[in-house]
A = this chain, B = another copy of it.
Amino acid sequence: MVNIPKQNLRTPGPTPVPSDIVEAMSNPMIDHRGPEFLEIITAATEQLKQVFMTTNDLFILTASGTGALEAAIVNTLSPGDKVLSASAGSFGDRFTEMVETYGADVQRLNFEWGSPIEPDAIRSALQAEPGIKAVLVTHNETSTGVTHPLQAIAEVVKGEFQKLLLVDAVSSLACVPLPVDGWNCDVVATASQKGFMIPPGLAFITMSKTAWEAAETATMPRYYFDLKAASRFLERGQTPFTPNVALMYGLSLALDKLLEEGMENVFERHARISQLTRDGIKDLGLELLVSDETYASNTVTAIKIPDGVDGSMLRNLAHNEHNLVLAGGQGKLTGHIFRIGHLGHVTREDIEEVLETLRIILPKVGFRAG
């Protein structure tokens, strides 16, 4: 029998689940082709559209966020399609790898990890290669703590070039503003374990009219992630395959809570708590990874590990002696940064506890404030 003590879990997903949502998930199983499920999925889909600020079609998938990103690709593209993929971190690279795996002709547009994706560079790339069909972009790069300027990017991609825009919003949606219709994003994918305050296992994806038009001719193979099937089944309040019923219960309550708080307030809360995090980190004498704080993420903060400090020891001490779980670096940032997640169900007290713990353990792992 598993018995996990409560932690100050400050990874950028999974994030802590509020106790009333845990309780909601404990409801008994039901028939996923029955009337109760119809009611749940219909209401949740409508509420999700409010959170995504869209009237586009929206689907709930039983998968991690990466599954929804795969759905974004395979439902709109064909092998050989020219695609521009902008990346400035691990998750941008993952999105790129995924579209390459499915046979697109990919032009990689890479930026320094810790820096934002530049709309001007996207403009130049689109000018240089008129054959590009779609642009892939990550809204919030979880691996670096940078929120890319998606609105400005969308103005270029959609406003100037009318290309298909596929957005990884896994660690941004429901935490920072992403008005899907307002910014004219064709496909936006996210997951349950971040801003939505429920465990991992569900993913959400929107499809614009333009995305559906692309789907008509897209030939990348798809079955589990076929959104046409999802659309057909959603009309009768169902999913093509057995959905994660327990998480659907949790999602229902989470959406009630988010919409009751009001999305503007949710965004403001995330902004406030992330500012508290960044200020506290700098007060400790540590340095943020982000090159320009204007682009600092309101969901995750990446901090440079100072010279002489053992990053693994830092995270181990935090975990073992203070019950605080921090995230490490990913890809080429492994060993060079650590990260604090401050998204979803997180309070000022949680962050104060993080800062206090760091204050205690930093000197024990070789840190000397400059």
Contacts and interface: CB of A to CB of B under 8 A. Distances in A.
A303 interface: no
Contact of A223 (B35, B102, B244): B102
A252 interface: yes
Interface in A46-88: 62-67, 70
A200 B199 CA distance: 14
A201 interface: yes
A6 B23 CA distance: 15
Given A31-B327, A67-B224, A246 B2 contact: no
Interface residues of A, number: 70
A180 interface: no
Contacts of A13: 242
B193 A242 contact: yes
A101 B65 contact: no
A3 interface: yes
A64 B6 contact: no
Contact of A7 (B28, B244, B246): B28
A177 interface: no
Given A201-B246, A201-B247, A247-B201, A2 B31 contact: no
Interface in A7-66: 7, 9, 11, 13-17, 20, 22-36, 40, 62-66
A242 B15 CA distance: 11
A201 B9 contact: no
A29 B101 contact: no
Main SS at interface, chain A: loop
B28 A221 contact: no
Contacts of A360: none
Nearest to A29: B14
Nearest to A240: B66
Given A29-B9, A246-B201, A224 B24 contact: no
B199 A34 contact: no
A352 to B, nearest CB: 20
A7 B327 CA distance: 42
A191 interface: yes
Given A7-B28, A9-B28, A40-B2, A200 B67 contact: no
A200 B62 contact: yes
A233 interface: no
B223 A101 contact: yes
A301 B178 CA distance: 48
A348 to B, nearest CB: 20
A249 interface: yes
Interface in A266-316: none
A9 to B, nearest CB: 6
A17 B29 contact: yes
14 contacts: A2-B27, A14-B242, A15-B29, A31-B325, A32-B200, A34-B319, A65-B241, A66-B240, A101-B223, A193-B242, A193-B245, A201-B201, A224-B225, A246-B246
